[in-house]
Structure formats: C-alpha cells, structure tokens
C-alpha cells in the first residue's frame, strides 16, 4: 500500500502536469512573444547570426516616426545581411479588460494610435518579406491619421498580396491579442521603458542615445567581426 504522504505528492505532481498541458493546448501563442535574444550571436555550427534589433515604439509618436524613417529603414537597407528587425508597436499604452473579458487599450496619443498600433502589429505578422514589412511600416508611420487608409495605401504601394489578411487580423480578436502580447513584452523590459522608442540590440538596451542617433554603427559594433559585417561596416 502506498504511504499517504507519497500519494499526496503523486496527486500534486499529476495536477501540476495536467495544468501545464492545458495551458500549452489552450494558449500556445502566449508562450513565446519575442525571439530569444540572449546568446543570439552564433548558431550551433559557429556561423554568425544577424544582430537582432527590436524596436519598441508607438505609431503616432514623433520620435518613433523619426527613428523608423531616418535610422531603421536606412540602416536595414545597408546592413540587411547582418541585421534582423523585430517590431513591437505599443509604447506607453495600457491594457485592461471589460466585464466581458474584452481587451481595452489606452494609448498615449489616443484611440487612433491604438488602431494604428494594431494595424502595425498585424502587418508585422502577416508580411513575410523583412524589407517589404519594414517599408510598409515606414510608409504607414509617415501618416497614420487614418490608420486603415494608411495600411491599405502602403500595402498596395509595396505590392503586398495578402492585404485582406492584415485587415482580417485587425477586425478580429487576433489583432487585440497581438497588441496585448506587445504590451507584455514592452512591460517586461528591464530597465523599464522611460522613452519611446526604446531599442534593444540582441536584448540589450545598451547606449540608447547612440542607438537612436546612429543605429548602423551600433549594429556594426555588435556583429562580432564576421566577414559580412567587415564588408558592410568598413565604410563607416
């Protein structure tokens, strides 16, 4: 006969295991929000991987607009082989739920920014090509006064074929879920966000002032001296 203490331990173990399995089955999208950033420098075979630049921003923020249009897109066009971009539109927004469990967002620059942030989040998920994704987001942030019009105009300008998927994402609960996950990732930053945009390079906020003024130079410093990086960065 199994002792009482051992039976209790087995019961607790089974309950915890069942709970974890249920979470994985019911909420798989919440288990990973952003890519693993620490130790991002080299693959298992030793080949250098791109520097991961993660941009925490707001769609109606003038400083975010300036960084994306003047620094991010320019740097990526030069350094695409050594640089990967991850976009996290949310900024200093707040997320709550109503009595029915619906997600409610309060954005720094008002309801229009919440709409624009959601369109940006949906576009970032739907558009596979990294350059086109960045060009569409850059185009939208130049004029987000009517977010829906901005998305459709910019997606058509860059020949995005699955515009309807971006709109469906926005119209469905999925768009709100993406924005919430962006909020979770933004709020998890350490040190906490004080300025928008905040940029991390391979997970580190590093020297924000330098990153915001000369992103390409900071990316080059983080590459580890690969041959591709030397070819791109030698002109700086």
Instruction: Specify the range with the lowest mean pLDDT, choosing from 26-40, 45-59, 215-229.
Output: 26-40
Task: Specify the pLDDT at position 229.
Answer: 85
Helix/strand/coil for 38: coil
Question: In the predicted model, what is the mean pLDDT of the chain?
Answer: 86
Say which CATH architecture domain 51-233 belongs to. Answer: 3-Layer(aba) Sandwich (3.40)
pLDDT, average across residues 13-17:
56
Whether residue 48 contacts residue 17, with contact meaning beta carbons closer than 8 Å, is answered with: no
| Alpha-carbon gap, residue 27 to 17, rounded angstroms | 15
Whether residue 175 contacts residue 118, with contact meaning beta carbons closer than 8 Å, is answered with: yes
Q: In what order do the strands lie in the sheet with 198-201?
A: 83-89, 51-57, 198-201
Task: Specify the pLDDT at position 235.
Answer: 72
Cα torsion at 197, 198, 203, 206 (round to 10°)? 130
Helix/strand/coil for 195: coil
Task: Specify the pLDDT at position 4.
Answer: 55
Instruction: Write down the domain spans for the chain.
Output: 51-233
Pull the structure tokens for residue 42.
Answer: 């080299």
Contacts of 100 (CB under 8 A, 6+ apart): none
What pLDDT, in 10s, does the model give residues 58-71? 999 999 999 999 99
**Percent of the chain at pLDDT exceeding 90:** 71
Cα separation values, 58 from 9, 136, 170, Å: 48, 15, 17
What pLDDT, in 10s, does the model give residues 93-117? 999 999 888 999 999 999 999 999 9
Q: How many CA atoms lie within 13 A of 69 on its CB side?
A: 14
What pLDDT, in 10s, does the model give residues 152-166? 999 999 999 999 999
pTM: 0.81
Task: Specify the pLDDT at position 44.
Answer: 42
pLDDT, average across residues 142-156:
96
Sort residue 176 into left (φ over 0), alpha (ψ -120 to 50) or beta: alpha
What band does 55 get if pLDDT is binned at 50, 70 and 90? very high
Task: Tell me: pLDDT of 10 over 80.
Answer: no
Task: Specify the pLDDT at position 156.
Answer: 97
Whether residue 125 contacts residue 133, with contact meaning beta carbons closer than 8 Å, is answered with: no
- Residue/partner pairs of 166-171 with CB below 8 Å, 24 or more apart: 166/119, 166/122, 166/123, 166/126, 166/127, 169/121, 169/122, 169/125, 169/126, 170/115, 170/118, 170/119, 170/122
DSSP-derived secondary structure for 42-75: B-TTSPBPPEEEEEEE-TT-HHHHHIIIIIIHHH
**Percent of the chain at pLDDT exceeding 70:** 79
Task: Specify the pLDDT at position 33.
Answer: 46
Q: What Rg, from alpha-carbon coordinates, does the chain have? A: 21
Task: Tell me: pLDDT of 76 over 50.
Answer: yes
Helix/strand/coil for 99: coil
């Amino acid at each position: 006969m199994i002792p009482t203490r051992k039976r209790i331990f087995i019961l607790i173990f089974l309950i915890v295991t069942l709970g974890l399995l249920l979470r994985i089955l019911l909420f798989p999208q919440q288990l990973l929000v952003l890519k693993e950033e620490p130790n991002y420098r080299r693959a298992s075979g030793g080949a250098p991987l791109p520097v991961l630049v993660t941009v925490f921003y707001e769609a109606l923020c003038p400083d975010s607009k300036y960084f994306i249009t003047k620094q991010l897109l320019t740097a990526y066009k030069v350094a695409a082989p050594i640089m990967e971009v991850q976009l996290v539109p949310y900024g200093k927004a707040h997320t709550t739920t109503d009595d029915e469990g619906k997600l409610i967002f309060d954005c720094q620059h008002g309801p229009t920014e919440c709409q624009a942030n959601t369109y940006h989040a949906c576009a970032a998920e739907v558009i596979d090509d990294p350059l086109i994704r960045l060009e569409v987001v850059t185009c939208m942030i130049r004029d987000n006064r009517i977010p829906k019009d901005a998305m459709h105009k910019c997606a058509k300008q860059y020949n995005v074929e699955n515009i309807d998927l971006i709109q469906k994402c926005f119209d469905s609960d999925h768009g709100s879920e993406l924005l919430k996950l962006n909020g979770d990732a933004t709020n998890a930053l350490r040190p906490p966000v004080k300025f928008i945009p905040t940029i991390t390079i391979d997970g580190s906020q590093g020297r924000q002032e330098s990153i915001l003024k000369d992103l390409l130079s900071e990316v080059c410093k983080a590459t580890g001296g690969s041959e591709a990086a030397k070819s791109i960065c030698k002109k700086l």
